Amino acid sequence: MSSLRSQFLRAIEDQREEIRMVSKRNYIKRDLMNYYSLTGDLIKIILGVRRSGKSTFAQLMLSGNDFAYLNFDDERLVGLTANDLNTLLECLHEVYGDFSYLFLDEIQNIPEWSLFVNRLKRLGIKLVVTGSNSKMLSKELASHLTGRYEMAELYPFSFTEYLRYCKINPEGGDTKTFGMIRNKFNEYLQRGGFPEVMESDRPGRVISELFNSVVSKDILYRYKVRHQRTFKEIALTLVGNYGREISFNNIRKQFSIGSDHTVKNYVEYLEEAYLVLTLTKFSFKRIESLRYRKVYAIDPCLIFSLAEDFSMNRGFLLENIVFLELHRRKMFNSTELFYYKQPTFEVDFLVRRNRTVVELIQVCTSLDNPKTLNREVKALVTGYQETGAKQLTIITEDDAREIVFDGVKIRCLQVIDWLLNPDYSK
């Protein structure tokens, strides 16, 4: 037996044992399971940041089916070529026998993976694939798998899933339950929704390791970034500027980088690895919409652990959480998400479907201050006059009422109620 074949067999056997151990844990049902399943013959592709639960989610989908498992985030499988994949498939059958499904984890680590996946599909094997790099996978999907796959993105736990993990039923409705939900919301603002962080008694260490792993494995090594220290500093700066508009030119000047194009690439690398997400400015002029971005962290735990001024920006933190929830809902309601900014006002979120603006949303901690109330209301009403939005909403921590200003109705919602009662019609 060749040394390469022995290496493959050992890796497959070890990974099978690992996944058996993981399968014995109690899993938390993910909301995505209500909308994404194994039905049909399309290749199932699940994308998302490292340690967001993609592998566990795939296992839950495959529960009750005979499947083989292969994790390409394994040093024994580094440097595979297209020719090696035939030997790998033989080894999978040697270890697992016959199987209906093949679960390929962190597939982006393998060059020309889409050709291998296409071949497996032609052989009649049903495939579930996960990956941690959106652009790399999307490029391959568009080139080689057009029409043959169904894709979904999985994020760290939403607040609803966090309550499920904490065994709290939000439908309880009594005073104790509501108090517990508020307590867990404040906890969620700090611990976020990465399963591994939630289970750790040293969350700060886990978050730091996660950040460094994403930056090192998914970006620096993959894209051969030369100025690695500068790149890490930029990554931390972006996480620390959650909820703000960013300028490639300002970042270039701050870190003495040669061009705006390099900075743009750096931001895209971070977004492709799902460490941050960016939001496009809404404009009726396409060229203007491409120039501006707001940046958000993929999970609040990164903000709490890595952003220097966390305690001063609870309002921006709420905005980050609302953004992530709106981003999740995009998969279910086929909407587009923007922010809307003019010289005299800004609206945090503009939701559009089929070129119609269905909602404008402002986020703030409280409306108790008359100046804050006036600012948020006027921004929404002006935005409504310019875009014709169907719904105007202000999301706060404690306010729940309806405001009428110049004959325009604005609903105020408490952030917890909004998170727990999604309206997928918009």
In the structure encoding, which two tokens stand for residue 387, read together?
Answer: 């875009």
User: Which residue, 136, 185, 131, is CA-closest to 157?
Assistant: 185
Q: How confident is the model at residue 289 (pLDDT cuts 50, 70, 90)?
A: low
Q: What is the DSSP string of 242-273?
A: TTEEE-HHHHHHHTT-S-HHHHHHHHHHHHHT
CA distance 181 to 70: 39
Model confidence pLDDT, tens digit, residues 26-46? 788 899 998 888 988 899 999
pLDDT for residue 256 is more than 60: yes
> In terms of CATH, what superfamily is 3-154?
P-loop containing nucleotide triphosphate hydrolases (3.40.50.300)
pLDDT average, residue stretch 222-228: 91
Contact (CB, 8 A) for 358 and 364: no
Indicate the SS3 state at residue 69: strand
pLDDT for residue 22 is more than 80: no
Residues whose CB falls within 8 Å of the CB of residue 357, separated by 6 or more in sequence, listed in order: 350, 351, 387, 388, 389, 390
Which residue's entry shows tokens 């917890």? Answer: 416
Residue 136 has a pLDDT of: 61
Q: How confident is the model at residue 118 (pLDDT cuts 50, 70, 90)?
A: confident
Domains 3-154 and 322-420 equal at CATH topology level: no
User: Domain-by-domain residue ranges, the chain?
Assistant: 3-154, 192-277, 322-420
Model confidence pLDDT, tens digit, residues 406-422? 999 999 999 999 999 88
On whether the 322-420 domain is CATH 3.40.1350, my answer is yes
Q: Using CA of residue 85, residue 13, residue 137, residue 302, what is the dihedral sign?
A: negative
CA distance 390 to 235: 37
pLDDT average, residue stretch 120-136: 86
